Amino acid sequence: MNAPALAASRAPLLDRGADFPILSRQVQGRRLVYLDNGATTQKPAAVIDAERQFYEQSNANIHRGVHWLSQHATDLYEQGREQVRQLLNAARHEEIVFTRGTTEAINLVACSWGQSALKQGDEIVLTGMEHHSNIVPWQLLCERSGAVLRVVPVTDSGELDLDEYRALLGPRTRLVCVAHISNALGTINPIAEIVRLAHEAGAKVLVDGAQAVAHQAVDVQALGCDFYVFSGHKLYGPTGIGALYARYDVLNGMPPWQGGGDMIHTVSFERSTYADVPQRFEAGTPNIAGVIGLDAAIRYVREVGLEAIAAHEQSLLAMATAELQALPGVRLIGTAAHKAGILSFVVDGIHPHDLGTILDMEGVAIRAGHHCAMPLMTRFGIPGTARASLALYNTQEDVDALMAGLRKAQKLFGTGRKDD
Ligand SMILES: *Cc1c(COP(=O)(O)O)cnc(C)c1O
């Protein structure tokens, strides 16, 4: 282990597993070792209780209501918006739009901002490590607008090639789209620098924060980005809820994308006028209970502390990285200098899916496949990887269980070390 890894491994570990009811269940007759947090995180009792309490005590439709309960539900919903503002350190609560998640937030920007701002020959810069959610909406936009995609290459260690990035930026670049943290590699990208360079070229920047918000403190003002998106379900919150942050001047200049109730000012058959932001982008009855659950999830992570969560996950990451690298026949995909708690790897002679199945029989849940990043897998010349992704409730025992499962798989396949 190198010096920083050793230092990180001495940081105090959290012990919050008891907050998560599902972690006390068994799967396949074994203790559940949940290492698929990059796909979705488990929910603390605080989140489950908040949703239940909302339906038991506060349920009504929001906005427009004259009765007490509707105003009460509206207050709770808007408190959720304020909670997201604080999480991201946005300047104003009007900069927060609730969406179904990361995917919908990106589609919102592509359909609203993209459709109105882009024209033939304009360029959108993406990176080679984007999730399909941060590729396909831009391809659709290119088909409609005549804009073209340019792609920042990824180095062998899984970092963005910043020289190539600088070279791609030019007068036609209108937007740069980049993951804050890669879901397939764990790379933490240098967002502030990426934003600075994009802004110098006159381009806007959308940051996909799906893998970041639960694992480190995020400050959109310090990053300087124009758009930042995330999903609640990867932040210990419910599925079906997430948010878009957009700088006020940018958001306020964007046309509606979905029409319906709540997003209008006046409606007549001749002409409708639209509500101010953020309501302009929240057509129809939103996922009110989802916002209540997301609010509780953000309170929970802020109470545990994002610095403490990051230190905990870095300790486990350092430990697991050293152990994986010591196993013969195991190759880590993604060895960037700055990494979050994601371990993507391939094992000689064992297909990632077989590995996932063998680990599952030990109660260890990991993900195997392309991780919705097929271009990145192509870049590394592999069909997929096995991926263990960490969360605040993972422990040293979880890492031990992963390693034991891997040794067992190698034994079954007759690969790896021959003397154990
Ligand atoms: C999970 C993920 C998404 C998609 O999030 P949804 O919740 O499925 O909308 C996008 N980008 C990254 C980096 C992700 O990890």
pLDDT tens-digit profile of 43-87? 999 999 999 999 999 999 999 889 999 999 999 999 999 999 999
Predicted confidence at residue 404, as pLDDT, reads: 98
The three-class DSSP label of residue 93 is: helix
The domains of the chain, with CATH numbers, are 3-42+305-413 (3.90.1150.10), 48-302 (3.40.640.10)
Strands (E) in 58-193, as ranges, are 96-99, 123-127, 148-152, 173-179
Mean pLDDT calculated for residue range 218-231? 98
Identity of residue 256 = P
Q: Is the CB of residue 213 less than 8 Å from the CB of residue 404?
A: no
Question: For the chain, how big is the Rg over CA atoms in Å?
Answer: 22
Range in 7-11, 80-84, 249-253, 291-295 with the lowest mean pLDDT: 7-11
pLDDT at 176: 98
pLDDT at 12: 76
**What is the Å distance from ligand 1's center to 72 Cα?**
32
Q: Which atom of ligand 1 lies closest to the CA of 105?
A: 9
| Share of residues in the chain with pLDDT > 70 (%) | 96
Distance of CA 68 to the CA centre of its chain: 36
- Could you confirm whether 372 is annotated as catalytic? yes
137 lines ligand 1 (CB under 6 A): no
pLDDT for the residue numbered 3: 46
Residue 385 has pLDDT above 60, yes or no: yes
pLDDT higher than threshold 90 for residue 417: no
Going from the Cα of 31 to the center of ligand 1, the distance in angstroms, rounded, reads: 27
Minimal-distance CA residue to ligand 1 atom 8: 103
Q: Distance from the CA of 331 to the center of ligand 1, in angstroms?
A: 25
pLDDT tens digits for range 256-279? 999 999 899 999 999 999 999 999
How many C-beta atoms lie closer than 10 Å to residue 268's C-beta?
A: 7
Torsion of CA 310, 312, 315, 316, to 10 degrees: -110
